[in-house]
Each structure stands twice: as C-alpha cells, then as structure tokens.
Structure 1
C-alpha cells in the first residue's frame, strides 16, 4: 500500500518530568512525576497523519538501543511504513528532556543521537517513496543539508511540500523558500525567521507576509489559543482556535501539521484542512505527552460534530 504522506525527520524518546514551574538557571526543583514516551517532531507528525486518516511512511534514523526498537515498534503499531527507518550501529536514539509546568508550558532539551545520521543519501535511497507520495513533510531536527535535499526533491517531483521550521535557531537559507508549498511556523519561529516581533494578530500577519514574500508559496502561522493565520498571494485569513482547557501543549504543533497533511491527502480544501488541524491540535492539548496525546480520526470527527451542534 503506497504512502500518501512521507515524513522525513526525527524520532526521539521523550523523558518527561512534571514540576510546579520551569526551573531557573542553576536551580534544582522537586518534580511531581516522570514518564518515558515516544516523540520527535518527525515521528509525532507521522503518527498524527496516520491516526487522522492518511497512509504514511517515515524516513529517519534510530539508534541500536532499546529506545530505538521501541520507537520503531510504536510506528509499526500505527500502520506506518518503516522500510526507510535506518538503525545506526553504536549510536543512541534521539532523546528529548522535557519539563512541563502546572500551567502546561514546557521547556525542552534535545540530543540528536541517530537523527544526526539522516543524510541526503539516505533520502535519495528512498526516492520511490517520494515518487509515490502526495505530500512530503520536513522539520529541522535532522541535518540542514538533508532537509534541503528533501525539500528540493519534493519540489522536483511535483509533491506538496510542507516545512515545519522547528526548532528554529536561525533564518532559513533564502534558496529554500521556493521549494516550500506550506511553511508552518509558530509565533516564536515566525519571529526568528522574519526578524519581526510576533505579539499580536497584526504583527503576526506582518511576519507571515514577510515569509511569503521571501518565496514560500503559502504560510500558516499557528498562534496557539489565538488560532492560525493563513497567507498566500491572494491575501490572508484568520482561523480562530477551538476553546479548550489545556493540560499539556507538547506536540500540539506536530498534531496540527500531521492533521493538515492528512486532510490535504484526502483532497480537502486548505480551509477545511486548517480547521481539521486545529480541531486535532485542540484535542491533543487536553491530554499529557507527545504521541499519546494525538487523537484518532473518529475522535476529531466527533468533536467537530459536537461543536457544530
């Protein structure tokens, strides 16, 4: 069965501690709980797309440790094609150290591990997956040259190319933008990439328009509880967010990206795909963890029916 969505990116084991608040520099806090959960932006987005109705393949690297086997098994359990998931000998799997506070905000430290071994050649080795897909998704938790190669090949093959520029640490190379159909940053990422403040809907719009003028065909700026802004050559549109009580915002952005891609692969309009992504992300923040928080298609459909009632 050919994959509709190919995700090229990271897999991490998330080590999650809950604490009353985030620690200050040099401070030791007493935590409230600890859990080990599968994560990584690439894997999260793959799981989201799979749970929300798409046939998905994952391209990435895992270590030869217990975490690597658990990460692979988790994707296989979701029905995700893992033929392009490479085990790297004598290497640890990617790891994320996450602290979540009582207001559901988080701080994350990522150790790349095997994710650093995802090379352009490994992407080239799975060209057949890209040729058969409709949508290609990339993030920034794997080597920069690999992301560039994946974006370029996706564009050359005529696929819908999505870049979630996370985590963003510097401006994107200018030549990347024309390869991107949908650039999907959050507020902090949009501010860093554009060099503009993002602290209101008006400033968010300015940043999104700046990124579109840089060359991205379309920009979707996710704003958390304030919704999302969509900007293309014809103008812009604000999509208010569903109202929910957040428990943990980890993987909310990944859920949106995966859900949006899944909806596009099913032939949904952009507006419908954005609303579907928001509904899925809204459900995810009501639950703890990364992949465990990602809802299934039936849940999202039920929540949308309830909101329309």
Structure 2
C-alpha cells in the first residue's frame, strides 16, 4: 500500500537524564536517572502519525551502528515503511542529549550524525514515496537543501505540505513559503522566523500575520499550555489546550504535528485535526520520553476532559 503520510527528517537516539534543575554554565549536577529512547523530530512525528491512525513512510539516514539498527527496529515495530531509511557507512547515528528538570522543562543538544547526510539526491531516490503520499512533513533537523527540495517537490505533486520549522534560528528562505500549506512553529520558532516577540495568543496572531504575508498558506502557532493559534489570510482562531498535569514535555510538539497530519490524511476538517493533535500532545506530556510518550488513536478517541 502507498503511504498516506511521508515524513522526511531526523532519526536520533535520545540520551535522557533527569535532574532537579537544568545545569548552569560550568556546573556539574547529580542526575536522578538515565535512559536511551528512540527519538528525532522526524522519527517522532512518523511514530505519532502511525499510532494515531495513518499509513506512514519515513525518509532519513542513520549510521551503520547499534543506534541506527535500534531506531529502524523501533519504526518497523510501529508498522512504518522504512525502505527509505538509509544507513551511511562510516557515519554515526544522530543523538540528542536531553536534560529534563523537576518542572518538566528540558534542554537539548543535538549531534546530527547521519541526519546531516540527508541530501536532495537521497530524497530523489524515493520520489515514488512522495508521489504516493497525501501529506508530506518536514522539519529542520536535516540539511536545508534537502528540506527545500522536499517542500518544492511536494508542492509540484499537489500534496498537502507541512513544515514544522524546528529548530529555527532565523527566517526561512523566502521561496519556501509558497510551497508550504501548513507552517507549524512553536512560540520561539515563530519569533525566530519573524523577529517578533511571541509570548501570548495576541503576539502569536501578529507573528502568524507576518508569516502569511510572506506567502505561506496557513499557520498554526503551538503555545504549549496556552493552546494553539490557527491563522489564514481570512481569519484566525485560538484553540485552548486540554488541561493535564505535565511530567515531560519532550515530543509534545512532534505528537501534535503527527496527530494533525494523520487526521488531515483521514479527511478530518482543519479544526477537528487541530483538536485531535492537541489531545494527543496533551496525553504525551503526562508520560516520560519521546516516542514512548506518544498515545494511540484509541487513547485519543477515549479521552475525557
């Protein structure tokens, strides 16, 4: 069967430690626990879309090492098509070093490894997967040239193209905006893309207006516990977040993106897809880890506020 959602992006092994707080520069803290967890924004979004009802394929690169084998096995266990997860000889698999504090905030350092070897040429080898997709998702943890190629190709094919611009540190290339159907930044990413402060629904609306003026079709600014702001050129709407007690916010944004994409691919309206993604993300923050925290379709469907 052809994939309905194709994710082009990163695969990392997350090396996660919990500590009372995030360390200051030059400081050594005693940690409380340590685990290795499959992650990477691309792989997280692929797992989220698969668990939340979509047929999924992943395009990305890993090293020829134990972490790469584990990451591929984790995707296969979710029923994800991994024919385009390419092993790169002589390269390490990407890793993310994550510290989570007692208030559930985190700090992350990423080493790209194989993710830095995702090129336009690698993606072109699997153009048939893009052609068979309903929804195509990219992030910014693989080289920009490859992301630009995927956005343009997805637009040419008439697919629904989603960009989660994470991690963003500056505005996107100007030509990209016309190729994107849904741009989904969080507060800090929206600020980096526009140069505007984003710390409330009102300021998110202002940033979304600036992004729409750049040529993107639609914007969803995720605001954590404050919900999400959906904006088009015609209107904007705030979606309050479901109320939960957070334990670990790792992969909450990825869960939202995967859930939103799965719902769109299933034919749900934009509003219903946003709400579905929000419930999935809310459930994810009540659990620890990246991929282990992502809920299933049935869990989201049975959620009671």
Shared fold by TM > 0.5? yes
How does 1:120-131 map onto structure 2 within 5 Å? Answer: 120-131=120-131
Tell me the residue number matched to 1:87: 87
Tell me the residue number matched to 2:158: 158
Distance 2:203 2:239 in 1: 16
Contact persistence 2:22–2:101 (CA under 8 A): yes
Deviation of residue 209 (structure 1)?
A: 1.0
Deviation of residue 110 (structure 1)?
A: 0.1
Contact persistence 2:104–2:249 (CA under 8 A): yes
Distance 1:75 1:227 in 2: 29
Q: Does 1:189 align with 2:175?
A: no
Q: Does 1:100 align with 2:100?
A: yes
Deviation of residue 233 (structure 1)?
A: 1.6
Deviation of residue 213 (structure 1)?
A: 1.1
Distance 1:151 1:130 in 2: 10
Deviation of residue 242 (structure 1)?
A: 0.2
Deviation of residue 20 (structure 1)?
A: 0.2
Distance 2:9 2:286 in 1: 26
Tell me the residue number matched to 1:253: 253
Distance 1:170 1:237 in 2: 26
Contact persistence 2:209–2:233 (CA under 8 A): no
Distance 1:130 1:13 in 2: 25
Q: Does 1:281 align with 2:243?
A: no
Deviation of residue 152 (structure 1)?
A: 0.3
Deviation of residue 234 (structure 1)?
A: 1.3
Structure 1 segments of 4+ aligned residues over 6 angstroms from their partners: none
Contact persistence 2:19–2:31 (CA under 8 A): yes
Distance 2:205 2:132 in 1: 35
Tell me the residue number matched to 2:200: 200
Tell me the residue number matched to 1:228: 228
Tell me the residue number matched to 1:112: 112
Distance 1:12 1:224 in 2: 23
Tell me the residue number matched to 1:3: 3
Q: Secondary structure at the match of 1:82?
A: strand
Q: Secondary structure at the match of 1:167?
A: coil
State the TM-score, normalized to the length of structure 2. Answer: 0.99
Unaligned runs of 5+ in 2: none
Deviation of residue 67 (structure 1)?
A: 0.2
Deviation of residue 199 (structure 1)?
A: 1.6
Distance 1:154 1:106 in 2: 33
CA offsets per residue over residues 231-275 of structure 1, 9 Å max, x none? 002110000000000000000000000000000000000000000
Distance 2:16 2:171 in 1: 29
How does 1:58-73 map onto structure 2 within 5 Å? Answer: 58-73=58-73
Distance 1:83 1:13 in 2: 19
Tell me the residue number matched to 2:212: 212
Deviation of residue 218 (structure 1)?
A: 0.1
Deviation of residue 164 (structure 1)?
A: 0.1
Tell me the residue number matched to 2:20: 20
Distance 1:96 1:76 in 2: 21
Contact persistence 2:98–2:106 (CA under 8 A): yes
Deviation of residue 208 (structure 1)?
A: 1.0
Distance 2:236 2:169 in 1: 26
Distance 2:293 2:144 in 1: 28
CA-based RMSD:
0.5
Q: Secondary structure at the match of 1:137?
A: strand
Distance 2:157 2:142 in 1: 21
